[in-house]
Amino acid sequence: MQTTESILRVMQTLGEKGVPLTRLYRQLYNEQLFISAYSRLYRNDGALTPGATTETIDGVSLSKVRNIIEAIRTETYRWTPVRRTYIRRKDGRKRPLGIPTWSDKLVEEVIRILLEAYYEPIFSTHSHGYRPSRGCHTALGEIVTHWTGTVWFIEGDIKGCFDHIDHDRLMQFLAKRVHDQRLLRFIRYRLESGIMEDWQYQSTYSGTPQGGVLSPLLANIYLHELDEYVETHLLPAWNTGKARRMNSAYRAVVFQRRQAKKRGDIAAFNRCTATMRQLPSQDMHDPAYRRLKYVRYADDFLLGYVGTKAEAQVVLNDIERFLNNQLHLQVSPEKSRITHAKTQRATFLGYGVSVYANVSSKITGLRRSANGRVTLRLPERYVETESREWEKNGNPRIDGKALHYSVEEALAYYQSQYRGIVNYHQYAVDVHELARLKYAMERSLVHTLASKLKISVSQVYRWYSRNVEIDQRHYKVLQTSVEDPSSGNTRWFTWGGVPLRRRHFVNQTLQDNRQRGYQGSSELVARLMAQRCEVCGKETQELEGHHIHRMKDLERYSRWTPPPYWVFVMTTRRRKTLFVCRECHHSIHGKR
């Protein structure tokens, strides 16, 4: 039986050479691929979230995997409709989310592993969403490092992309490179398996469910057609001229300075040099020079254009026409616009994107001007908007969720929220503005702790304030510690001490063909294949996986005298997964 790594190497090589895939459906019989898929999915919180049935990752076993493989082999595997739920957005609207059953997630992940390895060498270098070794920061890094001199930003957002993907068109795009009718038919059945909402079945005629394991990759395959159109039609058409022509006024001063040098007129030479520093060397309105740049992250795209606004509008119209005619998608009118790079900010991936413009006429020294460089900022009114999330009527908001946490968990909860925001916006030139958000969050934290502990805010500070040194800088933080009874080590929980220092992008070549690693699952796989119950020690070929959401879920057993042995095993080993025999698994769920 081939290993996952060897299969993926073959898939990648075929993708690099542009060789169509044939007989790919047979790879779904490979048990190693399913084990690799399980090792990637078991850490996800959604693994314990049921879909349209009660099935979750809990109770997974090799026999269940083999039953799934046999059903796929005989083409009797039936996809289950996804369970639709809704997630509330900050603006009050709701975003639909489709939750597959655990078996469907596992099968989707196997298909995703295979197709991703093949398509990665094919996908555009300008596509950054839902791809290994790429993300929001790599997309932003491409803009900052390669878009110097941009005059106009063309913002685009595809309206309801996941919900409006045309099934027929998607299958046509897949069939270009996947010459395996059984696999194509199998994927088509997944797309048309329907939705369960409030226990009512709904047929699906378009779209891929948001929340599905395979959906992001299918969306990238679909939108790769847009990438190809931009790269093969728009970029060649709108990138003209090798360089801007020299500014006539600048050229005249260059000639005068040359003559002054010949005459030995030092004063005239210096005057010409000073004048040259105040003039652009190139003609910024050269009609023969045009540049167009493009980047896409999932259903959001941004183009940078050097030219006129009218020409930028033509580019946007061309993209809208292609999306409508070829992909049956629409650009969202309220989120798509053309912005002037120097006087306005484009919004892309949670950043304000603009071009640096030094409006001062005073030029000193020999330092080269930074004019034309792309800069990233926090979105307009971002700090004010985020701060209001931690306030109520202008006063600190007591977080009802954190009230039920321990002090340690409350500190960790607030810290993770704040650190996540800082880490994401660390490339903004005004990242220091997040200090105001920290102030609002800290007020909410201390008032929440005061309410929980029934003490004053000043007492909270007296009890938990500490001075710590991080990276040779001193910070005033809120901190407490807990001793881990299993190891005897002390665990520290801290609020604050997150540096607000801007990071810079470095010129780094992305490895487009980088393949996801699966080596990290070796320990988990070894435990699954060990055929020995981790609770009673019984040797059996029918091991089942017992999973919990968080280690904190075990705390409710601390009142038991003594706690169940399986709780002791999970606690001492710090594991959220146990592989046990069927009898022990039944005992665990029977709380015996």
For residues 245, 247, 250 and 254, what is the CA-based torsion angle, rounded to 10 degrees?
30
pLDDT at 282: 76
Compute the distance between CA of residue 542 and CA of residue 582 in angstroms, rounded to an integer.
7
Beta-bridged to residue 145, according to DSSP, are none
Predicted structure pTM score: 0.87
Helix, strand or coil, per DSSP, at residue 61: strand
SS3 assignment for 252-310: HHHHHHHHHHHHCCHHHHHHHHHHHHHCCCECCCCCCCEEEEEEEECCEEEEEEECCHH
Q: Write out the chain's pLDDT in tens, 592 residues.
A: 788 999 999 999 999 999 999 999 999 999 999 999 998 888 887 787 888 888 888 888 888 999 999 999 999 999 999 998 888 877 677 888 889 999 999 999 999 999 999 999 999 999 999 999 999 999 999 999 999 989 999 999 999 898 899 999 999 999 999 999 999 999 999 999 988 888 888 888 788 877 889 999 999 999 999 999 999 999 999 999 888 878 888 889 899 899 999 999 999 999 999 988 888 777 767 777 899 999 999 999 999 999 999 999 999 999 999 999 999 999 999 999 999 999 999 999 999 999 987 655 444 443 334 568 999 999 989 999 999 999 998 899 999 989 988 999 999 999 999 999 999 999 999 999 999 999 999 999 999 999 999 999 999 999 999 998 888 888 999 999 988 766 678 889 999 999 999 998 876 555 544 455 554 456 777 888 888 888 888 888 788 888 887 777 777 776 666 778 888 888 777 778 888 888 888 888 875 4
Q: Report pLDDT digits (tens) over 549-578.
A: 777 777 777 666 677 888 888 877 777 888
Compute the distance between CA of residue 479 and CA of residue 492 in angstroms, rounded to an integer.
7
DSSP structure class, residue 575: -
pLDDT at 521: 58
- Whose CA is closest to 410, among 435, 438, 446, 440? 446
The residues near 141 (Cβ < 8 Å, ≥ 6 apart) are 427, 505, 508
Helix, strand or coil, per DSSP, at residue 566: helix
Compute the distance between CA of residue 15 and CA of residue 253 in angstroms, rounded to an integer.
55
Q: Report pLDDT digits (tens) over 404-462.
A: 889 999 999 999 999 999 999 999 999 999 999 999 999 999 999 999 999 999 999 99
Compute the distance between CA of residue 491 and CA of residue 59 in angstroms, rounded to an integer.
32
Q: Crossing angle for the helix pair 102-119 and 215-229, nearest 10 degrees?
A: 30
One DSSP character per residue, 16-27 reads HHTPPB-S-GGG
pLDDT at 526: 80
